[in-house]
Amino acid sequence: MFEEIGTTAEGDLVINMGPQHPATHGVLHLLITLNGETIKKVEPHLGYIHRSIEKMCESLTYRQFIYVTSRMDYLSAHINNHCCALCVEKGLQIEIPSRAQVIRILVDELTRIASHELWWGAMAMDLGAFTPFFYAFRERETINDIMEETSGARLTMNYIVPGGVMADIHPNFQKRVKSFIQLFKSKVDEYDELVTGNVIFQGRMKGVGVLSKEDAISYGCTGPAARGSGVNCDIRKLYPYEIYNTLEFDEILETAGDSFARYMVRIREMKQSIRIIEQLIDNIPEGDFQAKTKAVLKLPKGEFYQRVETARGELGVYIISEGGTTPYRIKFRSPGFSNLSALDHIARAGKIGDLVATMGTLDLVIPDIDR
């Protein structure tokens, strides 16, 4: 049963955090049971932004349903679209031109940087530092402009389609991405200078919200939240898709498992994304940007599953097809939902002041959790 607001029989205080709270980054409702300042229980209440995306997809064709998935994890919209496109391509068994594969990975990694940057700014703002928010958005704006020029939208792109990408890259794309990575390399060091080395920041992050490796696995945590606890879970390394197996990059692992470890994973991951982009940006092969596909896509009868690594963790798309033009059932395994389920465990016995820092490092995107 859900707890009521007020005081329990044992004299504990039950309070609300959200659904309208600046630190929950969306409509997440947490019911917190407190003994003094110590957290006894955190109960997330979901459903405030449920749009029944999975059910909606059942009435949309295989071309149409991809745009909806941009609205799940809107900070890694490209990667969501990528996963759906890969799953449909798996069913159709079509070969993707190598140019399209490279473009897809380039926009994926740019999205990852943009997502981590927004997280970095918002995370620092949760802890009371306002300047990092502006600095993060200043660089993120450059990525948004690049995306806008190539795909025509800033947030919900719908650029990756079954068979390749919707349009060829803009002639300015390579030039602008190169100037961006030049700029961004110095900026990451500035981020370290401004926030990572800050004594107040470290005091609030180190040793707070510890998630052990066993718990990370048993709660199904993925992405930077689990890699901060030392779990090998990078899908790009474990189950490489597209041409990730030919690229050189490191899987970032930290072993401490506290908030600071999760923070450092994301900061270091941005540098790895830069490394991937640097390998590809000058080597975009010539050719088509889209494979020839039929106007109406029909998947054969069967079940198809594809997973990718989004900025938040493992996203899985599971399609059951009856052989028609629309899927019979679609299930999304979203990373945010599993990561949120560990929040109660890691916040318990901590102080209420640390809850915001803990939640910030899990990098929750609420529409991704509710779908």
Partner 1 sequence: MFIIDYIKEVYSAVKSLLKGMKLTGYYFTHHKEIITQQYPEVKQTLPERFRGEVVMLHDENNEHACTGCTACELACPNATIKIITKFDVSPEGKKKKALDTFVYHLELCTMCNLCIEACPTDAIKMAQTFEHSVFDRSLLTKKLNKPGSKIREGVE
Residues lying near partner 1 in the complex (CB under 8 A): 60, 63-65, 67-68, 131, 135, 138, 141, 148-153, 156, 158, 161, 166-167, 170, 190, 193-195, 197-200, 295
* Smaller CB separation from partner 1, 153 or 243: 153
Separation between Cα atoms, residue 177 and residue 166, nearest integer Å: 19
* Smaller CB separation from partner 1, 62 or 119: 62
* Smaller CB separation from partner 1, 67 or 318: 67
* Smaller CB separation from partner 1, 156 or 341: 156
Conformation bin of residue 158: beta by default, left when phi > 0, alpha when psi is -120 to 50: left
Structural contact between residues 303 and 317, judged by C-beta atoms closer than 8 angstroms: no
CB of 309 to partner 1, least distance (A): 24
Q: How many CA atoms lie within 13 A of 118 on its CB side?
A: 20
CB of 290 to partner 1, least distance (A): 10
Q: How many residues does the chain have?
A: 371
CB of 267 to partner 1, least distance (A): 15
CB of 279 to partner 1, least distance (A): 26
CB of 145 to partner 1, least distance (A): 8
CB of 212 to partner 1, least distance (A): 29
* Smaller CB separation from partner 1, 249 or 332: 332
Instruction: Please enumerate in sequence order all residues whose Cβ is within 8 A of that of 22, keeping only pairs 6 or more positions apart, or say none.
Output: none
Long-range contacts of range 64-71, CB-CB < 8 Å, 24 or more positions apart? 65/327, 65/330, 66/158, 66/160, 66/161, 66/162, 67/156, 67/158, 69/332, 70/155, 70/156, 70/157, 70/158, 71/156, 71/367
* Smaller CB separation from partner 1, 193 or 250: 193
Alpha-helical runs (H) found in 282-316: none
